[in-house]
Amino acid sequence: MASALNSEIQYLSGVGPKRAALLRAELGVETFGDLLRIYPFRYIDRSRIYRIAETTGDLAYVQIQGTVVSRTLIGPGGSTQMASGGPIELRAAKRLSVIVEDGSGQMEMVFFKGIRWNYERLKPGSTFVFFGKPSEFNGRLNIVHPEVDAPMPGGADAKGTLTGVYPSTEKLKNGGITGKVMCKLQSTALAMCLPEIKETLPDYVLKENALVPLAYALRNIHFPADHYALEKSVRRLKFEELFFLQLSLLKQKYIQSRGSIGLPITKVGASFNACFNALPYELTGAQKRVIREIREDMRSGHQMNRLLQGDVGSGKTMVAVLSALLAIDNGYQACIMAPTEVLAQQHFANISKYLAPTGVRCALLTGSSTQKERRELHAGLEDGSIGIIVGTHALIEDNVQFHALGLAVIDEQHRFGVDQRSKLWSKGPNHVPPHVLIMTATPIPRTLAMTLYGDLDVSVIDELPPGRKPVKTAMISDAKKGSVYNFMRKQIALGRQVFVVYPLIFESEKMDLNNLEMGYEEILKRFPDPDYKVAIVHGQQTAEVKNFNMSAFAAGRAQILVSTTVIEVGVDVPNASVMVIESAQRFGLSQLHQLRGRVGRGADESYCVLVHDFKTSAEAKKRLELMCSTNDGFEIAEEDMKMRGPGDLEGTQQSGLPIKLSIASLAKDGLMLNEARAYADKVLAADPKLELPVNAKLAEELRKGKYDIKDYSKIS
């Protein structure tokens, strides 16, 4: 017998081919089972009947059980009579007003549609339940377009239900799939599918976590018996989703960490010590802790897969250099891959300084490297004379071969595709993959890191080096731009430099370029040559022009750099002390934080000015106020996720999560995620491959592939 759960949605009573196409396109529903996993996002409490006397216009939805007193047809302009003096006829009526009473008072029900049907049904003396949002009009309470149902036995003491409100779209409503229809479809699907719902969690998991059975949860998430049943059902379904997600990730990690062979990097040698002892400053406690964690990984005999999170300026590059020297002292090479040429050049310049006392040879490979340079680099990498190579994605080209690649460091790894990274993975000696350290300056909330990078070990540098002052941040409206220019002049007079950044929302579209160019013209007018030099950088320029202008600013030949967000990652200009962000309301919090991190890299007091339009929404203002109140990237990332959801961390586009969650929220269910992860860890500690009979259900559920994550951390 065919399974109802897997039946095509068009065969559900009340659907048919047209509605099926809509459900598929708008909600991704293909089968009866898919429909049952579309859950209400809120509930309307139809479990009580309100008396008219206690109803006010500021209540949400209410139910009134009342008897019709009168009904009036109203024509154009609010008249209740025709020119002939008689009452308005049905076909000429523009609205219907129905007065109902319940012993405590009277209320008006108003209909603009379905006038004939409601006029004929709502006869004086008949009693109905009216459900809708009350509002006040001309001093009288009314409900516009209430839902009308048969009266409940028991009147005001009757007990109704909690009614689910489902995700909807304009197209669904226009296609006749209203909230009421959706409830009806769910009821039909439940009746057909409940008998064959199989439990997905073993009994011991249900018992130890006090979870209700799946069939109970599905019935009560759609049609709750009461608030308590709903609460239990929501908890069950959220826990299940987060538990399987973490089980899937941790299982990969268990298998990988136990099964992967790693290059043995056991000793701390001369190069590491020479660099460490020559450092002009003491490492922070957080940097030392992270280096210890990396050392443990690299000498464990298993391959290291570690994510290093640290706010802008927390000293990640120094950690990468010392880790690379550990590899070199054990006879291996290291590569450091950056997302842009400018960032690669900057890393190369900084790393070369750190390496001066060690005698280790470092080289740079980017798209601009000449053929002659490439030949020399390739030879040096193959014979092992180059210890550390810094570069862009040019490093992953097939003709780049290493003598013995022991460590791959990937900076701002969300900029690289999985395929690109897998090429780096295959460049280790004798097909043994190199150790991998992934670095990001985009603070990621813990709950999201545990999901995006669930099978990586995560290290966090949560301390700024001594001497770094927090950046002072202020928001100002467009109308007061003159004061911003005055402030810029004062800072430039002190010998400082200024970034002015414009949003890039449509990528290369003309509108953004026009904004930028108009802004550039304005700056040139306010800061004329020869007293001031202004450079401009944007995505439409050739790499050569971009690098020339960026270098002019970095070397101090220009005091102002007008730019799009290309400078978000990495440009290090210690003398730049002011960051002006135009149309700041158009940026996400994490992106604003990244941009702010471009200043405050020297010893001077630094400033970030958020310029916003007069049309800025209250929500956008709230984001900007948060930026002014804290410099903590992790706090900002948490708030960003709460405000905008987890699918858009970068702030530039909806990148979407690598897995679609039906009911749990990474932004709101952090505590439950921790609980689910700890429990998944406990299950796997006892049975890493889920081979025991008691875990058969778990293994079967994971085999379905629903919880396979398009894993951001996977290199292969």
Is 570 a residue whose pLDDT tops 60? no
Place of tokens 């040698």: 269
Instruction: Enter the DSSP assignment of 151.
Output: P
The type of residue at 582 is E
Q: 565 is written with which tokens?
A: 């967000």
Is 708 a residue whose pLDDT tops 50? yes
Residue 640 domain-assigned (yes or no): no
The pLDDT value given to residue 713:
41
Shared-domain flag, residues 361 and 387: yes
Is 443 a residue whose pLDDT tops 60? yes
Query: How far apart (Å, rounded) are the C-alpha atoms in residues 476 and 553?
Result: 26
- Averaged pLDDT, 425-453: 78
Where is average pLDDT lowest: 34-43, 200-209, 543-552?
543-552
The pLDDT value given to residue 469:
78
Residue 395 domain-assigned (yes or no): yes
Q: Which of 614, 630, 646 is the last residue of a domain?
A: 630
Name the strand (E) or helix (H) holding 667: none
Shared-domain flag, residues 439 and 555: no
For the chain, give the mean pLDDT.
84
Shared-domain flag, residues 274 and 423: yes
- Averaged pLDDT, 469-476: 89
Residue 670 domain-assigned (yes or no): no
Is 262 a residue whose pLDDT tops 60? yes
Task: Identify whether the C-beta of residue 519 lies closer than 8 Å to the C-beta of residue 582.
Answer: yes
Residue 176: CB atoms within 10 A of its CB come to 11
Question: β-strand 333-337 against 388-391: which pairing, if any?
Answer: parallel
Shared-domain flag, residues 350 and 425: yes
Q: Is 422 left (phi over 0), alpha (psi -120 to 50) or beta?
A: alpha
Shared-domain flag, residues 338 and 439: yes
% of the chain with per-residue pLDDT over 90: 42
pLDDT 10s digits, 135-148: 888 778 899 988 88
Select the highest-mean-pLDDT range: 572-576, 671-675, 682-686, 705-709: 682-686
Query: How far apart (Å, rounded) are the C-alpha atoms in residues 224 and 218?
Result: 9
Q: Which of 604, 630, 656 is the last residue of a domain?
A: 630
Shared-domain flag, residues 445 and 479: no
Distance from the Cα of residue 374 to its chain's centroid: 39
Shared-domain flag, residues 528 and 437: no
Is 671 a residue whose pLDDT tops 50? yes
Confidence bin at 199 (pLDDT 50/70/90): very high
Query: How far apart (Å, rounded) are the C-alpha atoms in residues 516 and 188?
Result: 56
Assign 3-state DSSP to the chain and report helix, strand, coil percentages, each to 5.
45, 20, 40
Q: Which residue range forms the structural domain that includes residue 141?
A: 48-159
Query: How far apart (Å, rounded) are the C-alpha atoms in residues 658 and 452?
Result: 7
Name the strand (E) or helix (H) holding 452: helix 446-452
> In this structure, what is the dihedral angle of CA atoms 594, 595, 598, 604, given to the nearest 10 degrees?
-110
Residue 178 domain-assigned (yes or no): no
Query: How far apart (Å, rounded) are the C-alpha atoms in residues 416 and 436?
Result: 14
Q: 383 is written with which tokens?
A: 């014979």
Shared-domain flag, residues 151 and 285: no
Is 93 a residue whose pLDDT tops 90? no
Query: How far apart (Å, rounded) are the C-alpha atoms in residues 291 and 285?
Result: 10
pLDDT 10s digits, 54-73: 888 887 788 899 999 999 89
Q: Is 262 left (phi over 0), alpha (psi -120 to 50) or beta?
A: beta
The pLDDT value given to residue 654:
29
Instruction: Enter the DSSP assignment of 413.
Output: G
Residue 155 domain-assigned (yes or no): yes
The type of residue at 97 is S
The pLDDT value given to residue 647:
47
The pLDDT value given to residue 648:
42
Where is average pLDDT lowest: 183-187, 438-442, 657-661?
657-661
Residue 691 domain-assigned (yes or no): no
Handedness of CA 118, 123, 128, 132 (dihedral sign): positive
The pLDDT value given to residue 656:
41
Task: Identify whether the C-beta of residue 216 lies closer than 8 Å to the C-beta of residue 240.
Answer: no
Where is average pLDDT lowest: 71-80, 483-492, 604-613, 692-701?
71-80
Length of the chain: 716
The CA–CA distances, whole Å, from 53 to 70, 98, 708 equal 19, 17, 55
Number of domains in the chain: 3
More confident call, 335 vs 457: 335
Which residues touch 709 (CB under 8 Å, ≥6 apart)?
A: 245, 248, 249, 451, 452, 454, 658, 659
The pLDDT value given to residue 41:
84
pLDDT 10s digits, 621-664: 888 998 998 888 777 877 777 776 554 433 322 234 455 678 88
Q: Which of 143, 159, 175 is the last residue of a domain?
A: 159
More confident call, 591 vs 333: 333
The pLDDT value given to residue 15:
94
Query: How far apart (Å, rounded) are the C-alpha atoms in residues 247 and 253?
Result: 10
Radius of gyration, alpha carbons of the chain: 32
What burial class does residue 541 get, using C-beta atoms within 10 Å of its C-beta: 0-12 exposed, 13-18 middle, 19+ buried?
A: middle
Is 159 a residue whose pLDDT tops 70? no
Task: Identify whether the C-beta of residue 709 lies closer than 8 Å to the C-beta of residue 659.
Answer: yes
The type of residue at 651 is G
What CATH number did the domain enclosing 297 receive?
Answer: 3.40.50.300
- Averaged pLDDT, 24-49: 88
Which residues touch 699 (CB under 8 Å, ≥6 apart)?
A: 690, 691
The pLDDT value given to residue 216:
96
The pLDDT value given to residue 512:
61
Shared-domain flag, residues 414 and 326: yes
Task: Identify whether the C-beta of residue 592 lies closer than 8 Å to the C-beta of residue 627.
Answer: yes
**DSSP helix/strand/coil, 694:** helix
Q: List phi, psi (to 5°) of 184.
A: -65, -45
Shared-domain flag, residues 479 and 433: no
The pLDDT value given to residue 649:
38
The answer to whether the predicted template modeling score (pTM) of the entire model surpasses 0.75 is no
Confidence bin at 83 (pLDDT 50/70/90): low
Shared-domain flag, residues 402 and 529: no
Q: 355 is written with which tokens?
A: 């390496």
Is 361 a residue whose pLDDT tops 90? yes
The pLDDT value given to residue 406:
94
Residue 467 domain-assigned (yes or no): no
Task: Identify whether the C-beta of residue 305 lies closer than 8 Å to the C-beta of residue 256.
Answer: yes
Shared-domain flag, residues 477 and 451: no
Residue 105 domain-assigned (yes or no): yes
Instruction: Enter the DSSP assignment of 54.
Output: G
